[in-house]
Structure 1
């Protein structure tokens, strides 16, 4: 693997694992699966070791993705040295990541890769809402994943 991406949300049970699974598939569709590795984590550790939220897993399965093997993890400061790009789902997690990032770390919002998203667009946390929130997350992460895959395709070929 030549390029490493980590997707980060609060607890690593909804948004970031959905984004990880979608991005992996999108990269595979673009012929980049052998060149780019993807993982995910949360800025908080309270769900560490646990599975993805059932609603997130069901939403992914409904659209042909498999999230069954996901286990939540907490992002650690020393991971910056092992990742080329760290992508936050929202401003709160972006601030937390930038606070711990060493100089020169590439830390951005994931939706910054969606050409249709306004500047500063976030992937909202669906945890306290209904199924519509998870559907919205899936739409948003698909668009951002496609944009990132196109960018990496241009850069890594």
Structure 2
């Protein structure tokens, strides 16, 4: 089965979704098919900005460079450009469902549901400490690994 194109979405596109994009890109780097992988935010507060410095640091500690990513907001065309649009939490998923054009082709998923079959939210570490970012990284790495294995 060919790897699907995937868009990871969180609130501002500076913490969770850039990490998920970087991890998924890293995990699929050695595959023959290069899926389209991106991330975006529900809001526009950080458009054009790099990921949160703590996300960059945690990714770098794990051998992944996300420093060149720039935040962007979800656009209507994303729902046709990507096969999967994956929300980091239920609030993001609800917002994506309301933004999704009626005839869009992308399927919407909660990250944990797609990865683990659970309804768990990926917690937003923005107001936390570096340890919160490390926990989110671990959850995203496990989840992205599970998603990659589904399409091998």
TM-score, length-normalised on structure 1?
A: 0.88
TM-score (norm 2): 0.91
8 Å Cα contact 1:112-1:144 kept in structure 2 = no
Deviation at residue 2 of structure 1 after TM alignment:
6.7
Q: Cα RMSD over matched residues?
A: 1.7
| Displacement after TM superposition at 1:114 (Å) | 3.1
In the alignment, the residues of structure 1 paired with residue 83 and residue 123 of structure 2 have an alpha-carbon distance, to the nearest angstrom, of 24
Residue aligning to 2:23: 22
Cα offsets for 1:55-102 (capped at 9, x unmatched): 110111111110110100000122101110000000110000011113
Q: Are the counterparts in 1 of residues 81 and 106 from structure 2 also a CA contact under 8 Å?
A: no
1:82 aligns with 2:90: no
Give the number of equivalent residue pairs: 149
Structure 2 CA distance for aligned equivalents of residues 100 and 47 of structure 1: 19
Structure 1 runs of 4+ aligned residues shifted over 4 Å read none
Within-5 A mapping of 1:8-157: 8-29=9-30, 31=31, 34-101=33-100, 102-103=102-103, 105-115=106-116, 119-153=118-152
Q: Which runs of 5+ in 2 are unaligned?
A: none
